[in-house]
Structure 1
Amino acid sequence: MTHTFTLQVYYEDTDMGGIVYHANYLRFIERARSQWVKSLGIDQIALREAGVVFVVRHMDCDYLSAARFEDELTVETRVLDVTGARLRLEQVVLRDRQVVFTARVTVVSMEVSGRPTRLPAEIRALGRGL
């Protein structure tokens, strides 16, 4: 299952040359992950109030091509594997079906105290379909 999220590159997302600043790709894929979690019916505010948060543990990124001011980008998010407390995702940023950025992201579930805890059941269930 692949989740898609579309966004517009604004002037504030770019450097002086009109090219997307490298750190903003991380913001784009974070927004896409948040929308993906929401699409699963998980309320992250309620989850945090219950004492559980998601934390990025590891990320491996490749910048392949430059996105620019006013480009429309699509972020595709795909689950690679799921364990009790760990989720690995592949996220691809595309412009007109051309890959401009890729990331493999490991997310863990933690108590707000910093102790590991199990992922929500809705996410753990995704691992059974892989």
Structure 2
Amino acid sequence: MTAAVPHRFACRVYYEDTDLAGIVYYANYLRFIERARSEWVRDLGIDQRRMKDEAGMVFAVRRLEADYLAPARFDDELAVETSVTALSAARIVLKQEVLRQGTVLFRAVVTLVCLSASGAPQRLPPVLRGIPIPG
């Protein structure tokens, strides 16, 4: 997998994801993109449990910008695309989009940091530091 090709995570909208209007409750988009980030990291070969247990490091969301563009509804098949837009020693910025049949419904820019158990910044794992940034 390269940075030029977004990671793709498929999910379906369940009844429990919707509100009284029958559309996806706004906070559930954050759940969808969190799951997609977890699968992206796993697909890169990073075991987050082992990273925490052995190195005492975890990822944390530092900043999130979100745009809700169109509603998703019960039983929709969605895809979350994740791509890297910026990288530093201890920080990574991702663009994440939730799509339904190619139409972007939700877009987020997420800044992640790598932290020690005490909350101090840590260098990103080598596999992340080596990702080429498009542009």
Q: Same fold (TM over 0.5)?
A: yes
Same amino acid, percent of matched pairs: 55
- Structure 2: 5+ residue runs without aligned partners? none
Alignment of 1:86-125 (within 5 A): 86-125=91-130
Which residue matches 1:82?
A: 87
Mapped to 2, the partners of 1:78 and 1:112 lie a distance apart of 27
- TM-score normalized by the length of structure 2: 0.93
The TM-score normalised by the length of structure 1 is 0.97
How big is the alpha-carbon RMSD for the aligned residues of Structure 1 and Structure 2? 0.8
What is the deviation of 1:129?
4.8
Answer yes or no: is 1:26 the counterpart of 2:42: no
- 3-state SS of the aligned residue for 1:20? coil
- Aligned letter for 1:85? A
Moved over 6 A (4+): none
CA contact (8 A) 2:57 2:115 kept: yes
Q: Could you list the per-position Cα deviations for residues 27-83 of structure 1 after superposition, in whole angstroms to 9, with x for gaps in the alignment?
A: 000000000000000000000112000000001000000000000000000000111
1:18 deviation in Å?
1.1
Structure 1: which 5+ runs fail to align? none
